[in-house]
Structure 1
Amino acid sequence: MKWLQSVVIKLWGTILLLVSVVLIALTILLLEFFNSFHIEQERGHLAKLGQQVETVFQAHSGLEEGSATAIEITDIYGATLIATSKDNTVETNISEAKAKRIIKELERQNWKAVDGEEGETAIGNYETFNGKAALAYRAPFITESGSGTMYLIEQLTNIEQANEGARQIIQLCVLLAIIGTTVFAFFLSTRITAPLRTIRQAVVEAGEGKFDQSLTQRSRDEIGDLALAFNEMSSQLNQYVTDLDKERHLLSSILRCMADGVLTFSESGELLATNPPAEAFLAGGPVPDELIELFQTVMRKEKEMTVSFEREGRFYIIIVSPLLEQEEQIGAVAVLRDMTEAQQLEKMRADFVANVSHELRTPLVMLQGYSEAIVDGMTESDEATKEFASIIYDESQRLSRLVNDLLDLARMEAGYQEKRIELIDAVPFAKRMVKKFKQMGLEKRVSFEVTGPDVQFEADPDQMDQVMTNLLGNALRYTEDGKIKIEITEDRETISLSVIDSGDGIPEEDVPFVFDRFYKADKARTRGKTGTGIGLAIVANVVRSHDGEVQVESELGKGSVFRIQLPKKQRKRTL
């Protein structure tokens, strides 16, 4: 019965109990007071009646002479009169036998003197009166004919009736007081508990996560202070929860944006949380055995550990650290780092150093060898000396081109190459580039052709000259007894320049790497066909710096197509 636990019921019950106890005690005291009051009044009445009777006896100079008058007086008051003399004469308004029985009962009573009077009174239950209570009065009297004792007995029926009436009135008052107290208690408890119920509802809603609520302080008592304290608590909780949400979202955003995968494990090894890179690593599958073994080792040794392994052609490093809470180990956090690109970059760096060393060493060795031959006088004639000097010149030119290309490529990759944008006519530009290689083409029996509309586009003329020089030079290097064509096409916003040759072509497996630095497709195929190996890398960087794209299509033995696509208008760059 939940309603019995209500504060309203408890408060009402407490007030009602206290009021009831007070009223019951007050009722008892009032009834006792009224009873004592009435008895005291009756004692006084009996004492006065006794004095009147005694006066009557004395006036008639004897018991027998005054008995009739005395009986009339006592009958008026509804009292019983018994008067005895020394000679045992009895005068009474009841039967003599009954009077004698009453006298015997009166002798057993505890008599109490009446204040200021000669007589005594006693209260008791008399068998003569069917066990009912009665008030008795006795007093000695003296007449001319002798002395005796006078008894006046009055039943307490009237007092009991008066007391019963008072009792009913008091009980009615008590009942009305209890009803009034009940109404007042409910009113008071409602006034007290109504704001408490409001606060309770607010607390329940706060427990459900609604912290942005405020209670109205309707009073300045303890309940008002409680509402004010709740508002302060709610505000602080709302601030704390908001801060925690911000931290949680920030942490979640950081984890999502991390390039490294993060996996969180419980103490039992259960996977608790991951971020997108870790989910991509797991790909919906189980945790790798290497990671499980490392986790178990970390939990056992309670220190950070690192392991590297290869999976599906990719290289990973995993760092597992203990997860602590108040110096107690509750799990572990694994950071998964994909080192594939780093390894590839390291390999590229090593290849780059090796290629640069090779490309530099070859002309340097030839320079050193032929110069030593000239210095040592090993040439037999001026023609031989001239030939050696020519070779030294060619190799120095080759070395200079290599260094310049390296510098250009480094500037492009670092973003230091500035562009001087001009409007270029595509067909005259292509024909001018063909003219540069026409003589070398005649030597290799290679013809040139330019096709397409005369379109204008914006670009850096010098850098575009470098691009077409590298593309035409590569095409001519691997083409003999064939044809090289520059094909110009356009659409609404872009222009395409395609260098098409009928040369050796490129193996399919080498096509994706032709724009890498120092990459040479099929080293046996390129033997004797000199080049720096970074020309196409320069082409790719220049085209990308012009917001364009470069593509290659090739089939071994059937030639190649290098196509660059550029926007007709270059976007303005702001610092």
Structure 2
Amino acid sequence: MQRKILLTYIILIVVTVIFSVGLSWSRINNYFFERVEKETITISDMLHKAMEDSDLSKEDYQSFIEEYSEITTFRITLIDQSGHVWVDSYSDAETMDNHANRPEVRKALAGEKSSEMRYSNTMKKYFFYYARPLENAEFSGIIRVSLSVSEIEAITTDMIFIILISAILGSLIAMGAAYVVTQRFMKPINDLTRVAKVISEGNYDEKIYMDRNDQIGELATAFNTMTFNLKINMWTLEQKNAELESILTSMSNGLVAVNMDYKIVLYNDRFTKLLNLPEEDMSNRLIYELIRELSIFDIIEKAIEEKTYMSGEAIIHKDGEDCIIEIVATPIFSKTNKNKALATLLMFTDVTQMRKLENIRREFVSNVTHELKTPLTSIKGFVDTLKNGAIKDEIVANRFLDIIDIETDRLSNLIQDILTLSEIETLVGERSLQAFELSEIVDEVMDILPKDKEGVQLIIEVEENLPSFECNRDRMKQLLINIIDNSIKYTDAGYVKLQVFKYKNFLNIIVEDTGIGIKHQHLSRIFERFYRVDKGRTRKTGGTGLGLSIVKHIVELYNGDIDIQSEEGKGTTISIRLPY
């Protein structure tokens, strides 16, 4: 900017100097020529008056004009009516050409007073001529007075040179002054520019200090105030951005805002992870470039086009599994114009686990209903039979009452297992923990379990000097009873072996049997509620279908893990690890 201002000053100075010199030259030139013209006319009038009444001879005229020419420095010429030079103060009249065709001579011979500036062939330079008629006793013609222009040009040239030198010196001084003025003028502007650059880099503490009372000083004060306000606003904005970033980061749902051109305006990390998108900047990218699921497109397009709330679900394949994603699209409207949609906010929620839990709940309700209905139906059928007269037959009545008793026990066991499972699921951690000897708990379990199943040997191996384990005694007994009783029920020949030992700071409980085994496709669901591999055998042995599910929940209550290995026709091994 300083260069532009300085260059503008220089151009103005140069143009002014050129105009001034040109105008001065024109005025000086005109002035001198006007002076010459006036002096020439004056000299001509004086000579005319002096010669008008004289009766001098030609020789006397020659002497007179030569003397007068020497005094005045003017060239004086007398020309007769035929155009011949009669006498001349500068040249020999006999050798001069006929002047009848000279413009000023021709007009003067015609009786006019005439002035001309032209080149003289005789003197070989420019002259100013003034001619007028002259009549006396001895001469009839014209008198012409002239002066060399070169002398005038020399004077004007000298003066113009002096003016030009003065103008150049003045211009240089003016340019120097312009440079100093622009420097002083640009210094506060340069300071403002420097500070503005520093502020643009994020340093809002920079200030401008100027001891001036003019507009520049006011500008500096306003700039400092603006910087302070900008600092406050930026701090507030950073705080809000940090809060928004924290909210978006901490959200368990995926969030993305899409403008009316389907370009991403805002998103959080959960959105990229939920849809298994690459970790790169997705701002201002089309949503179509990132998501390929048509059902999601339908929801987005309807929400944007219809400017209304939309929701739906889509199935996305991620990490080798199908995930159910719930999408909620909500239009964002302008505060000033409630009918103008600015963008659409999309909320993505992984509801896969929720849907699985809903399915489990439905299956649980269905299974519980079925399991409760079966013994109740049996009980009701036998009661109706007894009421209809079978009670009179003692043998039949006793058999029916035995069946009713068995079904009642089965119903009681089912309800107890459901209550137990419900209790365990609601616990966050085990309560009433005490250190117990596992060998004592195992002995108590052995006293409860049947040991007289024909063809099945029960083997107990508990590590000697096994450290006490902190647990709920009843819960640990229930765990052992369920897995051992389950192995006994499904083993027709061979053995059921219980091993309890400590390994790497874990209590290990292993139950191995040589029973019927489990097909591989059933192993992943064996711990589900009411899941039975052989439903007929389970009902025959009086199982509720909740035993292994209870075992799994007890293991998880102690932050342990459970594993099952089985081969159909060869047996099953259940391994439990509980941390000390």
Normalised by the length of structure 2, the TM-score is: 0.64
Q: What's 1:258 paired with?
A: 274
Unaligned 5+ runs, structure 2: 246-256, 258-263, 279-285
Give the Å deviation of 1:54. 8.9
Aligned pair partner of 2:461 in 434, 437, 450: 450
Distance 1:356 1:40, change over 3 A: closer
Distance 1:492 1:70, change over 3 A: same
Find the aligned partners of 1:426 and 1:142 in 2 and give their Cα distance: 170
Distance 1:152 1:519, change over 3 A: closer
Q: Is the 8 A contact 1:211 1:237 kept in 2?
A: no
Q: Is the 8 A contact 1:505 1:557 kept in 2?
A: yes
Residue 161 (1) aligns with residue 145 (2): no
Aligned pair partner of 2:566 in 533, 550, 554: 554
Q: What's 1:265 paired with?
A: none
SS at match of 1:465: helix
Q: How does 1:137-176 map to 2 (within 5 A)?
A: 152-170=145-163
Find the aligned partners of 1:28 and 1:435 in 2 and give their Cα distance: 134
Q: How does 1:95-134 map to 2 (within 5 A)?
A: 95=92, 106-108=104-106, 122-125=115-118, 128-130=122-124, 132-134=126-128
SS at match of 1:455: coil
Q: Is the 8 A contact 2:271 2:348 kept in 1?
A: no
Find the aligned partners of 1:251 and 1:95 in 2 and give their Cα distance: 112
Unaligned 5+ runs, structure 1: 1-5, 112-119, 263-269, 279-286, 569-575
Q: What's 1:432 paired with?
A: 444
Q: Is the 8 A contact 1:448 1:485 kept in 2?
A: yes
Distance 1:426 1:97, change over 3 A: same
The count of residues paired between Structure 1 and Structure 2 equals 509
Find the aligned partners of 2:80 and 2:508 in 1 and give their Cα distance: 162
Q: What's 2:253 paired with?
A: none
Q: What's 2:260 paired with?
A: none
Q: What is the one-letter code of the residue matched to 1:392?
A: I
Find the aligned partners of 1:123 and 1:261 in 2 and give their Cα distance: 100
Q: What is the one-letter code of the residue matched to 1:412?
A: I
Find the aligned partners of 1:131 and 1:188 in 2 and give their Cα distance: 51
Distance 1:356 1:89, change over 3 A: closer
Q: Is the 8 A contact 2:428 2:557 kept in 1?
A: no
Aligned pair partner of 2:69 in 74, 77, 90: 74
Distance 1:254 1:354, change over 3 A: closer
Q: How does 1:122-521 map to 2 (within 5 A)?
A: 122-125=115-118, 128-130=122-124, 132-136=126-130, 152-170=145-163, 250-258=266-274, 272-274=288-290, 348-349=360-361, 351-376=363-388, 378-380=390-392, 388-415=400-427, 419-437=431-449, 440-442=450-452, 444=454, 446-453=457-464, 454-480=466-492, 482-521=494-533
Find the aligned partners of 1:161 and 1:545 in 2 and give their Cα distance: 122
Q: Is the 8 A contact 2:564 2:572 kept in 1?
A: yes
Distance 1:180 1:354, change over 3 A: same
Find the aligned partners of 1:519 and 1:107 in 2 and give their Cα distance: 145
Distance 1:132 1:483, change over 3 A: closer
Distance 1:256 1:547, change over 3 A: same
Q: What's 2:282 paired with?
A: none
Distance 1:202 1:345, change over 3 A: same
Distance 1:110 1:413, change over 3 A: farther
Find the aligned partners of 1:165 and 1:109 in 2 and give their Cα distance: 35
Q: Is the 8 A contact 2:517 2:571 kept in 1?
A: yes
SS at match of 2:128: strand
Aligned pair partner of 1:30 in 24, 30, 35: 24
Find the aligned partners of 1:89 and 1:257 in 2 and give their Cα distance: 119
Find the aligned partners of 2:9 and 2:426 in 1 and give their Cα distance: 90
Residues 109-140 of structure 1: CA deviation (Å, up to 9, x unaligned): 689xxxxxxxx894533555446313548798
Give the Å deviation of 1:535. 0.9
Distance 1:411 1:162, change over 3 A: same
Find the aligned partners of 2:483 and 2:17 in 1 and give their Cα distance: 118
Q: What is the one-letter code of the residue matched to 1:75?
A: E
Find the aligned partners of 1:523 and 1:184 in 2 and give their Cα distance: 110
Q: Percent identity?
A: 20
CA RMSD of the aligned region, Å? 6.2
Distance 1:68 1:539, change over 3 A: same
Residues 205-255 of structure 1: CA deviation (Å, up to 9, x unaligned): 9xxxx986999989967xx89x979x99x9999989x97997768515242
Q: What is the one-letter code of the residue matched to 2:565?
A: E
Distance 1:305 1:396, change over 3 A: closer
Find the aligned partners of 1:308 and 1:92 in 2 and give their Cα distance: 124
SS at match of 2:485: helix
Find the aligned partners of 1:249 and 1:153 in 2 and give their Cα distance: 94
Q: What's 1:564 paired with?
A: 576
Find the aligned partners of 2:93 and 2:277 in 1 and give their Cα distance: 125
SS at match of 1:441: coil
Q: What's 2:540 paired with?
A: 528
Q: What is the one-letter code of the residue matched to 1:498?
A: I
Q: What's 1:571 paired with?
A: none
SS at match of 1:537: helix
Q: Is the 8 A contact 1:447 1:484 kept in 2?
A: yes
Find the aligned partners of 1:345 and 1:11 in 2 and give their Cα distance: 81
Q: Is the 8 A contact 2:559 2:578 kept in 1?
A: yes
